[in-house]
Amino acid sequence: MTQSGIFIVMKYPEIGKVKMRLAESIGEEAATGLYRAFIQDILSTVQSLEISYHIAVHPPESQDEFAEWLGSAHQYFQQRGADLGERLKNGFRTMFEKDYQQVIALASDSPDLPIEILREAVIALQTHEIVIGPATDGGYYLIGFSRDCFIPEAFEGISWSTASVLEETLTRIGSINQQIHSLPEWADVDTIGDLQKFFLKHKNNPSMNLHTMLYLRSNPSLQHILGS
């Protein structure tokens, strides 16, 4: 199998700097704690996939803090660019420079993303030029390219953080007529409504050991907000 790699896009979980829409409802400290749990969950899933992965950190100067928190055994690189589009585009270029032939970019906002979806994405890139995972909010949680079919334009002129991200991205890709494999739709957790749906989905499963669920179960004030 041709060498495949994943890079996970992460922000350093500093209070007041992450998950700001959630913070409006649950407070900055709780939102930051949740995002830390999100990162641990998605990282655990990727590690279970047994594929080479890198952590793409933002802001760039947070790499040492990430390594101190998550450990130095992971491979890190700094995100570069003025907006998300530039950072994603440069992330793919960084990975291709490391001689990966298929590269997947993965967000860190879907803590319960199943390993089966990630496995499907890796396998699909062996026979397709592009793979994309639609998010329920109109964005995407994953996008991947084969090296020979990389389309930088997919990240240019996109209305980031809106419900039209996926549509705009597919329009740019479609204009170049590449072969796309679409993954199952999955939910990001960006708002209090998203978090309520996530909690209701998993709260009655006592074996659900996601870091995110453990964090929610250990925080009575959050359970009150979520209507437990």
Asked if 165 and 116 touch (Cβ cutoff 8 Å), the reply is no
Which is it for strands 76-78 and 102-106: parallel, antiparallel or unpaired?
Answer: unpaired
pLDDT number for residue 179: 82
pLDDT of 177 higher than 90 = no
pLDDT of 110 higher than 80 = yes
Query: What's the chain's average pLDDT?
Result: 94
Q: Which of the four pLDDT bands, split at 50, 70 and 90, describes residue 208?
A: confident
How many whole angstroms separate alpha carbon 228 and alpha carbon 225? 8
Q: At what angle do helices 115-124 and 28-49 cross, to 10 degrees?
A: 50
pLDDT of 161 higher than 60 = yes
pLDDT of 228 higher than 80 = no
Domains of the chain: 4-190 (3.90.550.10)
Q: Report CA dihedral (72, 209, 48, 111) to the nearest 10 degrees.
A: -80
Nearest CA among 21, 45, 1, 41 for reference residue 162: 21
How many whole angstroms separate alpha carbon 215 and alpha carbon 223? 10
Over residues 199-217, mean pLDDT = 89
How many whole angstroms separate alpha carbon 87 and alpha carbon 79? 5
| Joined tokens for residue 34 | 């949740």
Length of the chain: 228
CA distances from 25 to 30, 162, 170, 225, 226 (A): 10, 20, 32, 8, 10
pLDDT of 175 higher than 60 = yes
User: What is the percent of the chain with per-residue pLDDT over 90, rounded to a whole number?
Assistant: 89
Give the chain's end-to-end CA distance (angstroms, integer): 46
pLDDT tens sequence across 79-91: 999 999 999 999 9
| Joined tokens for residue 200 | 């209701």
Using a 10 angstrom Cβ sphere, with 0-12 exposed, 13-18 middle and 19 or more buried, the burial of residue 222 is buried
pLDDT of 50 higher than 90 = no
pLDDT of 2 higher than 60 = no
How many whole angstroms separate alpha carbon 166 and alpha carbon 183? 13
pLDDT number for residue 176: 66
Over residues 29-41, mean pLDDT = 97
Q: Which of the four pLDDT bands, split at 50, 70 and 90, describes residue 1?
A: very low
pLDDT of 127 higher than 70 = yes
Region of poorest pLDDT, from 46-60, 82-96, 214-228: 214-228
Q: Report CA dihedral (47, 215, 27, 114) to the nearest 10 degrees.
A: 40
